[in-house]
């Protein structure tokens, strides 16, 4: 069992620690009279919790060295002991807001202090566990996550990577569909081959055919030399087509022929060229609806939709927000002249309470911008372009809250069982008739998504 060590900083001057209470609660205290002492103890003993007495020294000239210590001990949780008259000082409030998990004013209630230390220790262990899990998942899939929802995604990526069939990845914009495609490629037998990506929505319709299939010299005005297309470039590896729903209808026929025959003809060429590629596509659109509206070919849809992977939105996996933010902070720290220790507690509250319409892509953008704009050691809400207070949301009625929970449960059940109504009803422990009635009530289609209004 891990020994619960607590670092006790500058306690001897003005206040004696309740050593008997601390040791009686199963803690081992390490007294330190200076930040240098504290740094040596941290390096030697690796305590998870620190107890700091904010005396006049640290609230005046010594605040910089205290802040430096707290920055260097980012893996620890700190509890402050503060004289009541110092609580009104701006410096005290800043130190509390930016660095402490809890604080107590003198005189100390031993029982309450032990509760605070226990809570801080638990939070430090959870954060340590999250960091370990984040590293493991990142090294496995190059995608940072700790949530059970994404754990299921990683397991599905492993299964999909073991075969060579076409894959369609769906999810909102910014959820990491290209990262998932790269993970599938890197875990597959094609990992030594090329990974070639193309966003079908970013290329003009008149150019996408030559981008995909290439062209021969002289095949059209300006074609001064032969050009190899993306499909041919991916030979032996993986072709990833993002926003496949934007592929022009007339070009869908050519792409279907390639999937059937596994050969291509360059524009202006007559000789069929065999190409061995695995095709992964992605979309944020409802392609089944596009098929019904005849804007996407059904035969092409079924060729591409052999295996399916859906990526959840960031708001559906709030456990991942904190490790993602820390991961990208570490990645972008070299862009700042400041020594940034991490996020202030108010910034982390803002990150957790925000709805993230742009998903992980928006989080990356905000963190990178915050690293550049941050003027202190901790990123604040305004650095992330949030207001000082977390996003305010209107209070829901109990009826609306229950309806939202029912809707989310139905959607999750349908996705988990491949939109099989019978299986979804079994998981939800309701009859099929009841499930159909609830889906109609909430305006949900057979995939658990909202129906578009007529």
Token output for 192:
């030594």
Q: Structural domains in the chain?
A: 4-131 (3.40.50.2300), 148-310 (3.40.50.300), 320-379 (1.10.8.60), 398-441 (1.10.10)
Q: What is the pLDDT along the chain (454 residues), one digit of tens a residue?
A: 456 888 888 754 556 777 888 888 889 999 988 889 999 999 888 899 999 987 777 777 777 788 778 777 767 899 999 888 888 888 888 888 778 889 999 888 889 999 999 998 988 887 666 666 565 566 566 688 888 899 899 999 999 999 999 999 999 999 999 999 999 999 999 999 999 999 998 888 778 899 999 988 888 877 788 899 999 999 999 999 999 999 999 899 999 999 999 999 999 888 899 999 999 999 988 899 999 999 999 999 999 999 999 999 999 999 899 889 988 998 887 666 666 778 888 898 899 999 999 999 999 999 999 998 888 778 999 999 986 444 444 555 566 666 777 777 788 778 777 778 888 888 787 788 788 878 888 788 766 555 544 3
Look at residue 390 in the predicted model and tell me its pLDDT. 42
Provide the CB-side half-sphere exposure for 64 (13 A, CA).
Answer: 1
Look at residue 451 in the predicted model and tell me its pLDDT. 56
Express each pLDDT in 306-344 by its tens digit. 999 999 999 999 989 988 998 899 888 766 666 677 888
Look at residue 91 in the predicted model and tell me its pLDDT. 83
SS3 annotation, the chain: CCCEEEEEECCCCCCCCCHHHHHHCCEEEEEECCHHHHHHHHHHHCCCEEEEEECHHHHCCCHHHHHHHHHHCCCCEEEEEECHHHCCCHHHHHHHHHHEEEEEECCCCHHHHHHHHHHHHHHHHHHHHHHHHHHHHHHHHCCCCCCHHHHHHHHHHHHHHCCCCCEEEECCCCCCHHHHHHHHHHHCCCCCCCEEEEEHHHCCCCCHHHHHHCECCCCCCCCCCCECCHHHHCCCCEEEEECHHHCCHHHHHHHHHHHHHCEECCECCCCCEECCCEEEEEECCCHHHHHHCCCCCHHHHHHHCCEEEECCCHHHCHHHHHHHHHHHHHHHHHHCCCCCCEECHHHHHHHHHCCCCCHHHHHHHHHHHHHHHCCCCEECCCCCCCCCCCCCCCCCCHHHHHHHHHHHHHHHHHHHCCCCHHHHHHHHCCCHHHHHHHHHHCCECCCCCECCCC
Burial class (CB in 10 A: 0-12, 13-18, 19+), 16: exposed
C-alpha to C-alpha distance for 248 and 252, rounded to whole angstroms: 6
* Cα dihedral 234, 203, 359, 412 sign: negative
Cα 399 vs. chain centroid, distance in angstroms? Answer: 31
Closest CA to 376 of 89, 102, 74, 68: 68
- DSSP assignment letter at 277: -
Provide the CB-side half-sphere exposure for 439 (13 A, CA).
Answer: 24
Look at residue 15 in the predicted model and tell me its pLDDT. 62
Token output for 296:
């996407």
CB of 305 within 8 A of CB of 259? Answer: no
CB of 214 within 8 A of CB of 232? Answer: yes
Closest CA to 15 of 104, 97, 99: 104
CB of 215 within 8 A of CB of 266? Answer: yes
Look at residue 2 in the predicted model and tell me its pLDDT. 57
Confirm whether pTM is higher than 0.85. no
Closest CA to 131 of 310, 342, 356: 342
Look at residue 130 in the predicted model and tell me its pLDDT. 61
Other residues' Cβ atoms within 10 Å of the Cβ of residue 154: 17
């Amino acid at each position: 069992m891990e020994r619960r060590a607590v670092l006790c900083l500058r306690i001897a001057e003005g206040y004696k620690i309740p050593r008997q209470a601390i040791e009686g609660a199963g803690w081992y205290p390490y007294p330190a009279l200076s930040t240098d002492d504290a740094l040596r103890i941290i390096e030697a003993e690796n305590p998870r919790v620190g107890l700091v007495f904010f005396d006049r020294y640290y609230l005046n000239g010594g605040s910089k060295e205290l802040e430096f210590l707290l920055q260097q001990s980012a893996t620890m949780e700190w509890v402050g002991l503060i004289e009541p008259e110092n609580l009104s000082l701006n410096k005290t409030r800043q130190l509390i807001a930016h660095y402490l998990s809890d604080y107590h004013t003198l005189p100390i209630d031993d029982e309450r202090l032990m509760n605070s230390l226990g809570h801080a220790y638990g939070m430090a262990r959870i954060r340590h566990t999250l960091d370990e899990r984040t590293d493991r998942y990142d090294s496995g899939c190059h995608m940072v996550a700790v949530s059970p929802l994404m754990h299921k995604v990683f397991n599905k990526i492993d299964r999909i990577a073991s075969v060579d069939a076409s894959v369609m990845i769906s999810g909102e914009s910014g959820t990491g569909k290209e990262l998932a495609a790269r993970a599938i490629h890197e875990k597959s037998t094609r990992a030594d081959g090329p990974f070639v990506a193309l966003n079908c929505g970013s290329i003009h319709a008149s150019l996408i055919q030559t981008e995909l299939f290439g062209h021969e010299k002289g095949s059209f005005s300006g074609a001064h030399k032969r050009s190899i297309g993306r499909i041919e470039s991916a030979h032996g590896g993986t072709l990833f087509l993002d926003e496949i729903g934007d592929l022009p209808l007339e070009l869908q026929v050519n792409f279907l022929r390639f999937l059937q025959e596994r050969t291509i003809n360059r524009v202006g060429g007559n000789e069929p060229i065999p190409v061995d590629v695995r095709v992964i596509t992605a979309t944020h659109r409802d392609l089944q609806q596009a098929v019904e509206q005849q804007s996407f070919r059904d035969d092409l849809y079924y060729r591409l939709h052999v295996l399916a992977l859906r990526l959840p939105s960031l708001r559906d996996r709030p456990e991942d927000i904190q490790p993602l933010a820390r991961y990208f902070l570490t990645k972008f720290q070299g862009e700042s002249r400041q020594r940034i220790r991490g996020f202030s507690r108010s910034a982390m509250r803002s990150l957790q309470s925000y709805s993230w319409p742009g998903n992980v892509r928006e989080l990356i953008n905000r963190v990178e911008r915050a690293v550049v704009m941050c003027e202190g050691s901790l990123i604040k809400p305004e650095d992330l372009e949030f207001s000082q207070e977390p996003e305010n949301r209107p209070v829901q009625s109990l009826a609306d809250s229950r309806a939202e929970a029912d809707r989310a449960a139905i959607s999750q059940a349908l996705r988990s069982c491949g939109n099989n109504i019978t299986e979804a009803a079994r998981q939800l422990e309701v009859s099929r008739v009841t499930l159909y009635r609830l889906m109609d009530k909430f305006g949900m289609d057979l995939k658990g998504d909202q129906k578009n209004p007529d």
